[in-house]
Amino acid sequence: MLNPRQDLKPNTAAYETQALVKPTGFREYDARWILEKEINLLGIQALGLGLATYVQEIGVAPKIVTGHDFRSYSLSVKQALILGLLEGGMEVLDVGLALSPMAYFGQFELDAPCVAMVTASHNENGWTGVKMGANKPLTFGPDEMGRLKEIVLNGEGVARPGGKLVRVDDFRETYVADVASKVQIKRPLKVVCACGNGTAGTFAPDALRRMGVEVIEMDTDLDYTFPKYNPNPEDHAMLVQMAQRVRETGADLALGFDGDGDRCGVVDDTGEEIFADKIGLMLARDLSKVYPDSTFVVDVKSTGLYKTDEVLKASGAEVVYWKTGHSYIKRKTAELGALAGFEKSGHFFMAGDLGHGYDDGLVAAGAVLAMLDRNPGKKLSELKSALPDAWTSLTMSPHCDDELKYGVLERIVKDYSDLAAAGGEILGRKIVEAITVNGVRVHLDDGSWVLVRASSNKPELVVVVESMRSEDDMRDLFRKEIKPRLAAYPEIGAFNQEI
């Protein structure tokens, strides 16, 4: 295998005969590039050979599920990837056009330990990428991605005999039937299903109807130009249109799915968005009554209400805060045998009786519908208003150079940890705990908290604060605590936005 190059230009002979792979595409838990500019099809083939080599290196059976999302180029990218996997001696089970969770489901249903899903998720057109795993239901984290990057960029891929391609026909039906079988809704519910013309449009309306609800389709036709908005249920443009459709149709809720269907966004019957950490809390409250003494995993950017919630306490539920990132929450959910994991970006990991433990937007949607079914006299907005009040800030990011940010963060973590150990206070409230799994999240005795962590992909720190008292108190936690404390570090620059 030749060492991939980083300096190739399209429309040249070299570009047609050599692999282009920019190292920046290897992220913490997946790979993402701008096609043609940062990677070419021969580079994708090199990635496939590198992945096959890594699988052989760690002693896992060389059997892998592949699928692709709906972009103009995703099928070509997947075919190039498959060529590399075959060269590396792997048996490839190709499920065709797929959501990421459908490919993950394939690992269980088709008894294959590995997965490589070609998707750019919710990124704009032009991007491509691969989500990979070799230990179901987990996907790669920083260690696996680091070794894969070495193998690919150093040309360490090893060609082996035994490569085989199996085309798995009609796997969409197997997947949709499995998802729908977990939920059967008895109360009449009218649901807006928003897909942003992304891949989920082929799967979500059918799955929701089979769960027993009336579906109002919204942008479910496949169109890889994404003419209205990017399929991303965290984006304002998509949420505004979901809310408008709920108000127009008198729907009970809207469910929105991202480009590869592993995330779900929720808008209630009044047209208000419910952030994923609050939906997670509503689900945890509901599920903890059905499954007492359960464990739930949430990321450190999520609301502090999980810690103080009386319903969860009464059901014996335990909540563990863990590192932000879908790969980390998925791994911790599996490690602890938790019933579910919730990440604020909209990844939900339903395990045990509820799912296989990976992030699946359709399974998450089913869990929200089942919660409404168990509370037949209540609207979604009423379940939301039953939560205690909490005022959460925007995510604010002060600049800090990539090569400096982790060193600076280490000092901030020590600063807060020392304050906690000394029985210190913040704005008149005693510090009860400093969680240091991902930066530092400082919990106060009234349930309020402040968080400082490093951005995983930008030269920035990340700051979030939440008050259980008032909006003014939330502003004070930032202006009178976080901002002056960070101002003492000359390496930290201006914030991208402030409350």
SS3 441: strand
DSSP 13-59: HHHHHS-BB-GGGB-SSSEEEEBTTTB-HHHHHHHHHHHHHHHHHTT
Structure token digits, residue 435: 């969680």
- pLDDT at residue 124, as a whole number: 85
SS3 461: strand
The list of the chain residues with pLDDT below 70 reads 1
121 is catalytic: yes
CB 412 within 8 A of CB 440: yes
Q: Scanning the structure block, which residue is given the tokens 């580079």?
A: 43
pLDDT digits (tens, 9 = 90+) for 78-135: 999 999 999 999 999 999 999 999 999 999 999 999 999 999 888 888 999 999 999 9
- pLDDT at residue 1, as a whole number: 62
DSSP structural state of residue 352: T
Tell me which amino acid residue 282 is: M
Taking each helix axis from N to C terminus, what angle separates 100-109 and 171-181, rounded to the nearest 10 degrees? 90
Q: Where are the alpha helices (DSSP H) in 233-377?
A: 236-249, 276-290, 305-308, 310-314, 326-336, 361-374
Q: Which of 100, 121, 345, 448 is catalytic?
A: 121
Tell me which amino acid residue 236 is: H
CB 411 within 8 A of CB 419: no
Taking each helix axis from N to C terminus, what angle separates 74-87 and 41-57, rounded to the nearest 10 degrees? 40
pLDDT digits (tens, 9 = 90+) for 236-256: 899 999 999 999 999 999 999
pTM of the model: 0.92
Q: Where are the alpha helices (DSSP H) in 315-360?
A: 326-336
Structure token digits, residue 415: 């600063």
- pLDDT at residue 499, as a whole number: 86
- pLDDT at residue 214, as a whole number: 98
- pLDDT at residue 458, as a whole number: 80
